[in-house]
Amino acid sequence: MAKQRKNPRPRAEPPKGFRDYFGNDVTDRADMLAAIARVYRLYGFDALESPSVETARALGSFLPDVDRPNAGIFAWRDEEDTGREDWLALRYDLTAPLARVYAQHRNTLPTPYRRYAMGPVWRNEKPGPGRYRQFYQCDADTVGAASIAADAEICMMLADALEAVGIARGDYVVRVGDRRVLNGVLEKAGLLDPENPAQFEHERGVVLRAIDKLDRLGVEGVRALLGEGRRDESGDFTPGAMLDMPQAERIMEFVRAPTRTGQTLDHLHSLVAGTEAGEHAVRELEQLAALLTARGYDDRIRIDPGIVRGLGYYTGPVFEAELTFETLDEAGRPRRFGAVAGGGRYDDLVKRFTGQTVPATGVSIGVDRLLAALREKGRIGAGATGPVVVTVMDRDRMAAYQAMAAELRAAGIRAEVCLSNPKSFGGQLKYADRRNAPVVIIEGEDEAARGVVQVKDMIEGARIARDASLEQWKSRPAQQEVARADLVAHVTGILAGNRQ
């Protein structure tokens, strides 16, 4: 046995930025993920579970916020490996591990490889309210297909998945932009030379991040970031890309492209005319739009050039799903849920391992935010009740109480024997109350002798039960004496009534 050093007591807390999930918070999420997985599987996507731990080198660093220790990841040195890959790290997303898996198994995996994955990811970020260092992602990706049909499929599948979990059509929109169109605009503005892409790289990064903040900062905020920079309400100053007026105006025109898909595409055409990459990208967006229209998805998936996404590895079309309904925040102000999923094409991630470009596209659903939205909409969590509680009046009859619980379970009803102190009936009722028990079963010596049990409907009697004595309690109308043989049928009836 391991020896414990005589230390002061450890604190009973998770580390900063981590939290526990109890009961329905766990099962609601599992149910939602199962519903999404059913959609992904119907589309032919196969499950993949890679380990939580990868070599830090395999993960690379693509997180947008890199001014943090370990570049935003949890990493440590592995004593098992003294070679060059000896730092281990917790995965920060599910895409980087997919690139590693595909590079490793590309000769045995089908091409294209459609896979889905769901599980926790970890970010070594400063924790804040509602901002955790471990959270769930749920991804679907197609690796090895260069066709824009693969991107269209991902977007349509995303729409289907949102509806499968309970987001109604009309309550969400999937927006599709394209990094290459932006590149065309930048090329025409003199900020991107296809022969020398390293030039103006810094400025393009600032432009990309500025556009990504359109939702939050508005048109004027973005314009400021394209020029000299922007001072926020707190007085902090963010330096801008220092573009001249005509350059900034071109980019603003791109960002504010009309939102009817047909008009948008015409407008984008004119913005990138003469740039090879830009024209090709707009043609592909046209094909994508045509597929969406043919399949009847154009009401809920639309082209929006303002979508550029923050992550560094995207190379083509990028997507974002936004919930469009409003809810009220704690202060009663209307609030939008915003983005619940994002993704895009990242043709160079596998290349890091193999040296060869492998086309890839995919989407990641923000599980916790989507779950919060479903809760807000009342789609889940309504009327969740606990198990039936069988009280223990006589410790020597434990087997008889366990038999009652077992019979209820055999009928598909959650049931448990109360294992708190049998001498305190009030304590057992408090326990049943805390368990949110819909029904409590009581069988004392007297009942046992007469072959009956007391069945208490807790939904009706919840409030008064807390302080009542056993005698008062027995006289309540919500309690009924039934033959022991009728126990299961009677409880089934009560539960069916409660569900109505």
63-102 binders of its own copies (CB under 8 A) = 63-64, 66, 69-71, 74-76, 78-81, 85, 88, 90, 100-101
Q: Which is nearer to its own copies, 274 or 355 (CB)?
A: 355
CB of 85 to its own copies, least distance (A): 6
- Is position 431 an interface residue for its own copies (rule: CB under 8 A)? yes
Size of the site for its own copies (CB under 8 A): 119
Among 434, 466, 485, 493, the residue binding its own copies under the rule CB under 8 A is 434
Nearest approach, Cβ of 331 to its own copies (angstroms)?
26
Question: Closer CB to its own copies, residue 127 or residue 258?
Answer: 127
| Closer by beta carbon to its own copies, 172 or else 401 | 401
- Rank residues 395 and 463 by Cβ distance to its own copies and give the closer one: 395
Shortest Cβ 74–its own copies spacing (Å): 7
Q: Is 407 among the residues that bind its own copies (CB under 8 A)?
A: no
Binding status of residue 440 toward its own copies by CB under 8 A: no
For its own copies, give the closer residue by CB, 140 or 217.
140
Burial (0-12, 13-18, 19+ Cβ within 10 Å), 233: exposed
Write down the least CB distance from residue 240 to its own copies, Å. 17
The answer to whether the beta carbons of residues 372 and 15 sit under 8 Å apart is: no
153 binds its own copies (CB under 8 A): yes
Q: Does 237 bind its own copies (CB under 8 A)?
A: no
- The pair phi, psi for residue 251, each rounded to 5°, is -70, -40
Q: Give me 398's structure tokens.
A: 């434990």
H or E element: which one contains 456?
strand 452-457
Map residues 282-321 to x or -, x wherever contact with its own copies holds by CB under 8 A: --------xx--xx----------------x---------
Q: What is the DSSP string of 336-367?
A: EEEEEEEEEE-TTTTHHHHSS---EEEEEEEH
| Residues 278 and 187 sit within 8 Å (Cβ to Cβ) | yes
Task: Name the residue nearer to its own copies (CB basis): 124 or 479.
Answer: 124
- Structure tokens that stand for 317 in this block: 């079309």
Q: Is position 164 an interface residue for its own copies (rule: CB under 8 A)?
A: no
Q: Nearer to its own copies by C-beta: 135 or 325?
A: 135
Burial of 348 (0-12, 13-18, 19+ CB in 10 A): middle
Closest alpha carbon to 296 in 395, 152, 183: 152
Q: Which of 204, 197, 183, 176 is nearest to 275 (CA)?
A: 183
Residue owning tokens 């824009």: 148
- Residue of 32, 36, 48, 458 that binds its own copies (CB under 8 A): 48
* Stretch touching its own copies by CB under 8 A, among 139-147, 186-194, 447-455, 472-480: 139-147
Q: Which of 12, 331, 382, 449 binds its own copies (CB under 8 A)?
A: 12
Nearest to 387 by CA among 443, 447, 448, 458: 458
Q: What DSSP element (H or E) covers 181?
A: helix 179-188
User: In terms of CB distance, is 257 or 309 closer to its own copies?
Assistant: 309
- Interaction residues for its own copies, span 197-226 (CB under 8 A): 205, 208
Min CB(12)–its own copies separation in Å: 4
CA angle 60, 125, 204 (to 5 degrees): 55
Q: Rounded distance, CA 201 to CA 449, Å?
A: 86
Interaction of residue 27 with its own copies, rule CB under 8 A: yes
For its own copies, the closer of residues 46 and 193 by Cβ is 46
Interface with its own copies (CB under 8 A), residue from 338, 386, 426, 444: 386
Q: Does 127 bind its own copies (CB under 8 A)?
A: yes
CB-nearer residue toward its own copies: 31 or 253? 31
**What residues contact 484, with CB distance under 8 A and at least 6 apart?**
443, 451, 452, 453
Indicate whether 499 belongs to the interface with its own copies (CB under 8 A).
no
Give the whole-angstrom CA distance, residue 255 versus residue 218.
11
E-only strand ranges, 144-290: 172-178, 229-231, 237-239
Among the residue ranges 41-49, 263-271, 441-449, 453-461, the one whose residues contact its own copies (CB under 8 A): 41-49
In Å, how far are 194, 210, 229 from 206, measured between CA atoms? 19, 6, 10
State which of residues 95, 114, 210, 225 lies at the interface with its own copies (CB under 8 A). Answer: 114
Should residue 495 be labelled a site residue for its own copies when binding is judged by CB under 8 A? no
Q: Kindly list the distances between the CA atom of residue 472 and the CA atoms of 80, 455, 479, in Å, as whole numbers in the listed order.
A: 67, 14, 11
Task: Retrieve residue 428's tokens.
Answer: 């057992």
d(CA 360, CA 346): 5
